[in-house]
Amino acid sequence: MNDKDPQTKKPADQPNPSQPNLPPGAAAKPAVSTKTARKGALAVVLVALVLVSLVLTVVGGAVWYWMKLRTSPPVASASPEVEEDFVVESEPAEDTLAEASPEADVVAEPETESATTPAAPTTGTLEIRSDVTGADVFLNGKRVGTAPYKASDLTFGKYSVKVEKAGYTSFEKRVELGAKPQVVRAKLVAALATLRVEANVAGAKVFLDGEDRGTTPLELSNVSPGRHVLSVGADGYETRTETLEVESGKRDVKVDLVSEVAALNEAVAVKHKHRIGIGSCEGVLRASAGTLEYDSPHKDAFSVALSEVESFSLGKEDLSVKVRGGGSYKFNERNDNPAALASFHERVAPSLAKQN
């Protein structure tokens, strides 16, 4: 460049407008460009934005974790150790809690209903009692035992219960078995029986268990099953008594009565005291087949019909007999046993009374 060129030559003493206060002859500092200044301001703004972003991230993470703690089941009460070691982080804390305290994870999980509720029972208990022991028990038509009966493993549902025993009306009932034990009390009623009583003597009196029920022929209804005492008798005949085991249904009873006179067969060894003279004779005093007989080798022996005996009386130690139109006799028991003589009189006197 040419120094003389007026366009390129700059006077040395021309003042610098950007540095007006510099003394003359001082060197001037180079001026900062506008582009450089803009770059510096932009860097400052970027740094500020980064810092604000970090702050917002931290604050947002804290708020998110706080909200999660409010909506999650409390962990601190189940695992105090987790509460003491808890550190707030920007990342979700589920994995940290699971690793730090496995027990806390189990507690936080709500238990399912199947784990806490026991299985419902499906079988129940049925007990069957009866006022008659040994009665047969049936369930749904199948015999299962005798009363009292108890089963503890019956499936829930409806059952037909039947209790029966010979001589009793059967008991039936339907039950529905559930979880609650059930007790069935069966009351058996004796099945009534009918007795038809006949005798070889018309009009004979009939007694059942000591109660006068009428005369033959007789039909007794509504007789309870079991043991009963039946007595049948008539004038001039021995009373017939027997014990009957009565079952339900109808039963015929026939009784043959025997004449008291025909059935009479009594004897006693005696001594006869003679009325005239001194002494006595021995023999057997016998009552049978309507006859009173003194069997002896002595001449005082006799045999008369019962109807011919006028008197027949027992004293303290002797028995007096008077025959109608004949003699009188006084007998002692041969072996001095007054009791044997009294027994003979007791059995013969009723027949004699009926003949006179």
Backbone angles phi, psi at 289, to 5 degrees: 50, 40
pLDDT band at residue 276 using 50, 70 and 90 as cut-offs: low
- pLDDT for 80-120, tens place per residue? 444 444 444 445 544 444 444 444 444 555 555 555 677 78
Q: Give the right CATH number for 261-355 from 3.30.70.980, 1.20.1260.10, 3.90.79.10, 2.30.29.30.
A: 2.30.29.30
For the whole model, what pTM was predicted?
Answer: 0.36
Task: Show the tokens assigned to 159.
Answer: 């059952």
Decide which of 154 and 259 is more confident.
154
Residue 305: Cβ within 10 Å count: 14
Distances in Å between the Cα of 135 and the Cα atoms of 146, 192, 210 are 5, 18, 30
Backbone angles phi, psi at 327, to 5 degrees: -95, 175
pLDDT band at residue 349 using 50, 70 and 90 as cut-offs: confident
Average pLDDT in the chain:
78
pLDDT given at position 231: 94
Question: How large a percentage of the chain has pLDDT more than 70?
Answer: 74
Query: Is the CB of residue 241 less than 8 Å from the CB of residue 229?
Result: yes
pLDDT given at position 80: 44
Query: Is the CB of residue 130 less than 8 Å from the CB of residue 186?
Result: yes
pLDDT band at residue 278 using 50, 70 and 90 as cut-offs: confident
- pLDDT for 288-340, tens place per residue? 878 899 999 988 899 998 889 999 999 888 999 999 888 889 999 998 888 99
- pLDDT for 178-192, tens place per residue? 888 989 999 888 778
Q: What is the CA radius of gyration of the chain?
A: 67
What is 123-189's CATH superfamily? Carboxypeptidase-like, regulatory domain (2.60.40.1120)
Among 12-21, 212-221, 289-298, the range scoring the smallest mean pLDDT is 12-21
pLDDT given at position 286: 92
Which of 253, 250, 167 lies closest to 207 in space, CA to CA? 253
- pLDDT for 37-49, tens place per residue? 677 778 777 888 8
Element (DSSP H or E) covering residue 202: none
CB-based contacts of 62: which residues, under 8 Å, 6+ apart?
A: 88
Distances in Å between the Cα of 13 and the Cα atoms of 25, 27, 94, 120, 240 are 8, 12, 78, 114, 183
Whether domain 193-258 has CATH 2.60.40.1120: yes
Give pairs for 278-282: CB < 8 Å, separation 24+. 282/334
- Distance from C-alpha of 107 to C-alpha of 96, rounded to nearest angstrom: 16
Decide which of 92 and 165 is more confident.
165
Query: Which segment, 160-174, 202-216, 278-292, is predicted with the most confidence on average?
Result: 202-216
- Is 351's pLDDT higher than 70? yes
Task: Show the tokens assigned to 227.
Answer: 């043991």
- Is 226's pLDDT higher than 90? no
Give Cα 55 to chain centroid, integer Å. 79
- Distance from C-alpha of 177 to C-alpha of 91, rounded to nearest angstrom: 60
pLDDT given at position 1: 45
Query: Is the CB of residue 204 less than 8 Å from the CB of residue 257?
Result: yes
Task: Show the tokens assigned to 318.
Answer: 């002797």
pLDDT given at position 139: 92
Decide which of 146 and 67 is more confident.
146
